[in-house]
Every structure is written in C-alpha cells, then in structure tokens.
Amino acid sequence: MKIARFSHDDAILFGIVDDTDLVVLSGDPLFAGYEPTGDRVPIADAVILAPVIPRSKIVCVGKNYHDHAAEMGGAAPEEPLLFLKPNTAVIGPGDAIVRPTISEQTEYEGELAVVIGKVAKNVKAADALDHVLGYTIANDVTARDLQRKDGQWARAKGFDTFCPLGPTISTDFDPAEATIQARVNGEVRQQAPLTDMIHSVESIIEYASAVFTLLPGDVILTGTPAGVGTFVAGDTVEVEITGLGILRNSVRDAVRAS
C-alpha cells in the first residue's frame, strides 16, 4: 500500500494510491487509521505533498555506507552516528531546494527514509519494524562548506528546504530488494543497493530509541552512498529507490537581502 498526502480543492488530504486515483482517507492514517471517505481524486488533479511533516524530529544517520565514509575521509563509525534535522527543513516533491546565500557548496545526499508509526522507546532490533509505518525517499541536503567550518552539522543540515521527502509512503517495502540512485539533470551521481548500509533499519531504530523516544510521524534518514556532490540554481535533483518511485526537486538560489 502506498499512502499519499496531497492538496486538492484547497484542502490537504491523505489517500491510498489506487492505479491513477487516490482513495481519500478520513484523516491522517498515523492517527485515524485507513478509513476511506468514499471519495476518489485522480492523481492528475492532485498536488502531491511531502508524505509526512514530522511533529517531533528527523533523525539522521551519518556515514552509514563504507564508500561514503571513505569519500568523506576516515573510517565508518562503529555505532550509528546520529544527528537531527528540524521539521521546518521538509519540502515535498516538485518543491524547490533553496541554496542559502552563505553557502557556496550545497550538496545532495539521496537516502532511504523510515517513517515511525507508533511510539518507540528502548525498542530491540527484533521488534523494530513493528514500530514502522512505512518507507519513503529523502534528500539530506547539506551545505558542505558550513559543515566543515562549524565542526558540527546542525546549521549545515538544517536550512529550510534541506529535507525533501516523498513522493509517498510505502507500507510493504523491503530494503533488501532495492537500489538507490541519485541524479542531477539526468546524470547518475550515486547508485548502490540498500544492502550496502552498515547499520540496518532495525539496528538504527534500536540505537536511536535508546537515546530518545521516537514518536508517530518521526522520520529516520538512513545515510547516503558514495557520490555526493554539488548542485546549482537551475538544476533538477532526483532520488529514485526501487519500489518507492522518484523524488524530484528543482533548485534555486535564495534572494539576497538588499
């Protein structure tokens, strides 16, 4: 099942993808379940939005692929390297990534995203997937020059528009069977099987939930493979994961203050 959050006739709705239609749900499935209203909206008539806006946090894992850790310099961490993005960084498919005026090196990082479905605290890896609603695609946009300058990642990873998510949430996705690919203007820049992740989804949830409570709607970004690089205004950045679709965003520069 694929769940979409969308805009139609000035209303924000949730629906289940059914071929070319969206079966409208009575509310956010995180809290209202999957009760249909009886209405259907053609996908062509809807604007697909970010599938979830975390009410709490976006938990990210750094250097979770050996080849990416190598390209960033140094060995991969033995334990998941956690950092947070604010929920104000989230945008949806088709929205523009805005390059801040204070960064000259803004980069893409295509990633698998996990959407938490129920409260998780001190969850064991064996039970972790019981707390997952589903999976979507993310782009962990990073101001790389600011990341190096600051020595920590909050500013470099936290700008508005720096967390594109979408297009939908899939509830029956298996990472073991999928490949991730990132493209800039159609040129492949990243490609790897998700099985190349050092720490699995289950182990990340176990580790993160021992630190802080994961709440329904929280999103976990699971790391990016090698091939990260820059983009500029006018570019189109796409992240594709087998079975989850394509997350596509344009790029523009922020307007400089006069």
Q: Tens digits of per-residue pLDDT, 130-168?
A: 999 999 999 999 999 999 999 999 999 999 999 999 999
Shared-domain flag, residues 102 and 214 = yes
pLDDT at res. 140: 98
d(CA 140, CA 167) in angstroms, rounded, equals 15
Is residue 96 in some structural domain?
Answer: yes
Q: CATH number of the domain at 126, please.
A: 3.90.850.10
pLDDT tens digits, 226-255: 999 999 999 999 999 999 999 999 999 999
Quick: pLDDT tens for 36-51: 999 999 999 999 999 9
In a domain, 63, yes or no: yes
- Cα radius of gyration (the chain): 18
Q: Give the chain's domain count.
A: 2
Helix, strand, coil percentages (3-state) for the chain, rounded to 5, are: 20, 45, 40
What's the mean pLDDT in 52-69?
A: 93
Domain containing residue 14: CATH number: 2.30.30
The answer on 141 and 30 residing in a single domain is no
Closest CA to 209 of 138, 120, 140: 120
* One domain, residues 96 and 176: yes
User: Average pLDDT for residues 203-227, to the nearest whole number?
Assistant: 98
- Owning domain of residue 168: 58-253
Same domain, 9 and 91: no
| Statement to judge: residues 147 and 239 lie in one domain | yes
